[in-house]
Chain A
């Protein structure tokens, strides 16, 4: 009954963007591209309609942020929201998807087929930076996501992260050293054996 009434509302007011996001995530999940948690795809989630769809691509969190291009400044608001998802650590990759306006009044039964064939405007954001707005269909999204992943795990970024972590550890170590008696307390907490210390002194 609830589903019937919602679909009626869909027909009169058009589909909500959240419906398209969840449906797109479902298609990407079925194609094996994204691992989307059941909490996003379940019947319960369909009723709650989460704002964004979150999936997993080779262990990297991906957010799909979609909006229908039948209102002003859609690309601007998508860019702002995707950047925020990255900055807040919600995901490492955020994909802004601008749906063509005709999807708003798609028939529920043919929505899946339309999502498979329609051309989106897409922009990818990641911790490595942002791409450009490009036109793509569902198949093209696969290549776009792969490129974003590869740029994210590019050696330079991994090396930069390792170096940042190393420097942070050095800074933290110096700050710990500023308080007298810290070494003794940490030695006890970390259960560093006295024997090992003696050996290290002897080296």
Chain B
């Protein structure tokens, strides 16, 4: 694996981890945002994360 690709993968992974921490914190204040535990319990995890993040971006732009 090229070292530059590895850097990009790490930045992408860190971005996802950061987004998950953000989701967990927001879920404590916004009833519409589900905590991570509930999100990963979903049968469609990717779809559920997609729904949660769409709601968050809507929240930020409103």
Contact = CB atoms under 8 A, between A and B. Distances in A.
Interface of A: 61, 88-89, 165, 168-170, 172-174, 176-177, 182-183, 186-187, 189-190, 192, 197, 200-201
Contacts of B14: 169
A168 B36 CA distance: 15
B12 A177 contact: no
Contact of A197 (B4, B9, B17): B4
Contacts, number: 55
Interface string B1-44: 11111111111111111000000100010000001110000000
B13 A169 contact: yes
A190 B15 contact: yes
Interface of B: 1-17, 24, 28, 35-37
A130 B34 CA distance: 27
A200 B9 contact: no
Contacts of A172: 9, 12-13, 16-17
Contact of B12 (A165, A170, A174, A190): A190
A189 B11 CA distance: 11
Nearest to A200: B4
A200 B17 CA distance: 24
Nearest to A189: B12
A177 B37 contact: no
Contact of B5 (A88, A165, A168, A183): A183
Given A192-B8, A201-B4, 9 more contacts: A89-B36, A168-B17, A170-B10, A174-B9, A176-B13, A177-B9, A182-B9, A183-B5, A200-B3
Lowest 7 CB-CB distances: which A-B pairs, in order? A173-B9, A172-B13, A183-B5, A169-B13, A176-B9, A186-B12, A173-B10
B44 to A, nearest CB: 19
Nearest to A197: B4
17 contacts: A61-B28, A88-B35, A88-B37, A89-B37, A168-B13, A169-B17, A172-B12, A172-B13, A172-B17, A173-B12, A176-B9, A183-B5, A186-B8, A187-B8, A197-B4, A200-B3, A200-B4
Nearest to A183: B5
A198 B32 CA distance: 43
A197 B7 CA distance: 10
Given A89-B24, A169-B17, A183 B37 contact: no
